Amino acid sequence: MRIRDEGVYQASEYAVSEDYSLQMSRCPQRPWGPVTSLETAERLQVHREAREEAQELLNNWMKSQLQLELSDGEEEVDSVLQEEPSAAPPKYEHFDDLCSYLECEMESSSVQKYLQHLLQSEAVNCGIAKHLRLEEIKEKKRLADPRIIMELRHKQVKENRMRHQRALELQRQEESLKKAILAEARLQAQEEDRKKALQAKKEEEEIQREIVKLRKEMAEKKHTMAKDWRMEGKRQEKTQKLSMQEVSTMSPTLVLKREEQEDEKQRKTQELLHWIHTSKQRCLQRHFSAWLKVILENRIKIGKAKALADWRCQLKALRAWRNYTWAQKVEQETQQFEVHLQDQNRKTQLAVEHNQRHLLRCCFLAWQHWSRAETEKRELQIKREQTKRKMEQLLEAVSLGKGGDRPLEANKPGTAEVNQHQDLQQDKPTETCLIQKEPDQTREQSCWDVVRTSHFCRNPRFAWEITIKHAALSAQDQAMYMNQITTVLQQFQAPSPKTSPAYGSRFEHRHAFQQRVIEEQRQQLQKQQELILKLQENQKLSRDKEEAAQAMAVTQMFNNSVSQTREEKQSRCKNTTPLSPPDCHGPGNTRAAMQGRKPSSRLTSPHPILKGMEERAIQRAEQRKKIEEAKQRKAEEKLAQLKAEEEALQRKEAEEKKAQQEKRREERRQQKLKELEKQRRLEKEQHLQKKARDHYEKVLLRKLGIVPWKRLREQAKKNLVVAQRHHSLGLQRKCLMTWLQVTQQSLREKMSQAEDFYSHMLLRWGFRNWLKYKDYLSTQDERASTFHTVCLMRKCFWAWFDHNLEEKRALWERLKIAAEHNNKRLTLNAFKAWRQYPLLMKKEREREERRNQLRRRVAEILPNFQT
């Protein structure tokens, strides 16, 4: 297969090379140039396409052959793989895919064979195997052992893998060879191109040398021709002088005949010269008109190309300018939009911060009021508990003292009222708590309700209910305080200095305006600092109140401990009194018993033992009374000390509150004074600014007026126009510099092309003039030869004529015959020249046709610089 493939491939290569050689032999040999290079490139492309088609045909044929061989069997497939590893089925494009496909087919075929063999093998039971030929079955089984088949299969797979690897190595080697061949071909092509370029340069140099040689030869020929013309002029002068001498010697008839002959000759020569001149003029006119037409067409084309190039450049510049302006507009719009968004975001942030501050301020004030109300509540509760304890102590002291049962009975309704009042007070805080827990009311309303409900004990029913809170601010004072808070909040919520009206007009000095703005900002900062100080003082007051509440709680705890100790002592006393005899209701009862017993003793004299017992009981009662009085004195002293301590604390608190109130009043008074001073200062500044503005306007109207303002406006407009012009010029300079560079480059290219074309035209003109000069020299040579023959004949005839004159007119008749013969010969020569003239014209036309063909070929070879 490989040998056949190589033979077919060589045959196709030979056919292509034969066809290519035939094509190359058919085409005439021309000088190397771009046209021939293009033709060779086209032929190479045709050759490549033919080669690719031949390769495709060979591949298709090989694939069909391979399919046929695959259908025959596995052995043929193996042989095909050994012979031609590069062939592939039509479904697969690469050799690897083909190998994998063949391996899969071989595996499937081997598996199918093994399955068929297993199916064909007999499966015999143990009982039946005894009656059959076990040995033959074992031999068959040994022959059909699947292990051997699997080993063979593994060997086949390894062989296939080795073949596949060898095929891959061959492919890689072929690819590397192809790459090396391609590289060598490229190098050869480059070397050929270089050789061709060198040959072209050498040919050009030789042409230039030949042109120089031709120019030198032409100059030498011109020099020789000029010398010949001079010699001929001298000879003609000599002949004319000789003829004049002969004419003077000759007879008048001969002279007249000669003159007539010369006149006819001159007339004929003049007619011939006139006809030649007219034909030359016509030829020159025709060539000049054609040349002029070509030049005009070229100029029109160049002008159209220039106009189109200029229009394209202008269009590019305009598009670039439009894109630049659009980009600038988009950038400006984006910047404006960004500035707007930034300003909007800043305003929203300021509004959100201001709203948060306002809410925090309101919440802080409400919390402050609520905390004050809570502290007052706690103080009231503590004082009520203290008063309760004091009343209980007093009641206990009265019950233990001389008051008997009456003060107890009198104090019972008071205690009931106190308990009722306490119950009412306990109900009211519950109401306040329920009001606070309502979800529909806002924080501020709840806080203000708490503040309102905290003033429930403003009208006390009893003297002991009066506390320090009743000396607090009245409703009017609270209203004043709330008005001050609202004014402060309004000052915070006041518009920023940006929105506030500017003090200075546009004619006012900028420095003064900036100073005023700075002063306003300082004043605002001072106000903020004062507010911060006030808030700090309020915090300090709240802290002091909390500390006082804590101190009151400590004192309350101490009082509770004291009262508990007293109750324990009283309970002990009550427990000890039942041990005494009956009627142990205190000293009052004992006295009543003694009074009841006195009349009985009077009536009946008691027993001395009973008397001693009674005396002892009286002594015991007196001792007990003394002990109780001592205890009561101690308790009263302790109560007096506690009262004194409480009164001192209350005095201190009252003094502190008074000092704080005085301090607040002084701060308010100072703040009011500062505000009044600020208002006066502002009014004064406004008044001064108004005066200054009026004075400034008057001065402007008096001194400057409208004319200088107009001048300034005009100057500003001019400056704006100049700035716009400068901006536009700068942009034009930026945009048109690239255009200028492009145009300069295009002009250079065009100039180089024009110079090349001019040199080409000069060469053509030189060659043409050289050919014309060659034709002219040939004609002149012919004319010189004819003229030389004529001159020689004249000389001969003149010598013969001199010889005849010496013979004294002996041979006049022969001379006449010779003259006639000479005239006939001249006419024959003239007619011959006339007959030869059309042939010469034909030759010239053929030369012109050849020149036109050469021009066309040169135009085909050379590129058209006009397009």
pLDDT at 563: 63
- CA distances from residue 324 to 338, 605, 726 in whole angstroms, order as listed: 21, 143, 17
pLDDT at 256: 74
Query: Over 70: is that where the pLDDT of 354 sits?
Result: yes
For the segment 603-628, the average pLDDT, to the nearest whole number, is 75
Query: Over 60: is that where the pLDDT of 598 sits?
Result: no
Q: What is the CA radius of gyration of the chain?
A: 73
Query: Over 60: is that where the pLDDT of 603 sits?
Result: no
Query: Over 80: is that where the pLDDT of 619 sits?
Result: yes
Query: Over 70: is that where the pLDDT of 136 sits?
Result: no
pLDDT at 420: 43
The alpha helices in 121-251, defined as continuous H runs, are 126-129, 134-143, 146-249
3-state secondary structure of 636: helix
Query: Over 80: is that where the pLDDT of 309 sits?
Result: yes
Instruction: Place 42 in a pLDDT band, splitting at 50, 70 and 90.
Output: low
Q: Of 379, 374, 428, 373, nearest to 556 (Cα)?
A: 379
Percent above pLDDT 70 for the chain:
62
Instruction: Place 484 in a pLDDT band, splitting at 50, 70 and 90.
Output: low
Query: Over 60: is that where the pLDDT of 771 sits?
Result: yes
Percent above pLDDT 90 for the chain:
0
Structure tokens at 615: 């005396």
Regarding predicted confidence, which is higher, 418 or 282?
282
Query: Over 50: is that where the pLDDT of 423 sits?
Result: no
Amino acid identity for residue 113 in this structure: K
pLDDT at 437: 37
Regarding predicted confidence, which is higher, 581 or 546?
546
Query: Over 70: is that where the pLDDT of 108 sits?
Result: no
For the segment 840-857, the average pLDDT, to the nearest whole number, is 86
As a whole number of Å, the end-to-end CA separation of the chain is 57
Q: Which of 413-422, 482-491, 811-820 has the highest mean pLDDT?
A: 811-820
pLDDT at 856: 81
Instruction: Place 866 in a pLDDT band, splitting at 50, 70 and 90.
Output: low
Lowest mean pLDDT among 373-377, 578-582, 821-825: 578-582
pLDDT at 525: 79
CA–CA separation, 397 and 381 (whole Å): 24
CA–CA separation, 847 and 831 (whole Å): 25
For the segment 522-548, the average pLDDT, to the nearest whole number, is 78
3-state secondary structure of 472: coil
pLDDT at 586: 41
Residue 404 backbone class (left: φ over 0; alpha: ψ -120 to 50; beta: rest):
left
Regarding predicted confidence, which is higher, 577 or 487?
487
Query: Over 50: is that where the pLDDT of 774 sits?
Result: yes
CA–CA separation, 652 and 648 (whole Å): 6
Lowest mean pLDDT among 208-217, 246-255, 432-441: 432-441
The H or E element that residue 489 is part of is: helix 475-493
| 249-302 pLDDT, tens digit each | 555 667 677 778 888 887 888 888 888 877 777 877 777 778 888 888 888 888
Task: For residue 201, give every residue at least 6 positions away whose Cβ sits within 8 Å of its Cβ, in sequence order, or none.
Answer: none
Q: Please give the mean pLDDT across all residues of the chain.
A: 70
| 220-236 pLDDT, tens digit each | 877 887 777 888 778 77
pLDDT at 279: 79
pLDDT at 513: 74
Query: Over 80: is that where the pLDDT of 390 sits?
Result: yes
Lowest mean pLDDT among 518-522, 654-658, 667-671: 518-522
Regarding predicted confidence, which is higher, 521 or 375?
375
* 381-400 CB burial, b ≥16 within 10 A, e <16: bbbbebbbbbeebebbbbeb
All structural domains of the chain with their residue ranges: 2-214, 551-580, 747-867
Query: Over 80: is that where the pLDDT of 436 sits?
Result: no
Regarding predicted confidence, which is higher, 592 or 360?
360
| 53-68 pLDDT, tens digit each | 767 777 777 677 666 6
- CA distances from residue 440 to 359, 436, 647 in whole angstroms, order as listed: 18, 10, 44
3-state secondary structure of 30: coil
Query: Over 60: is that where the pLDDT of 11 sits?
Result: no
Q: How many CB atoms lie within 10 A of CB 555?
A: 16
CA–CA separation, 199 and 205 (whole Å): 10
For the segment 805-823, the average pLDDT, to the nearest whole number, is 78
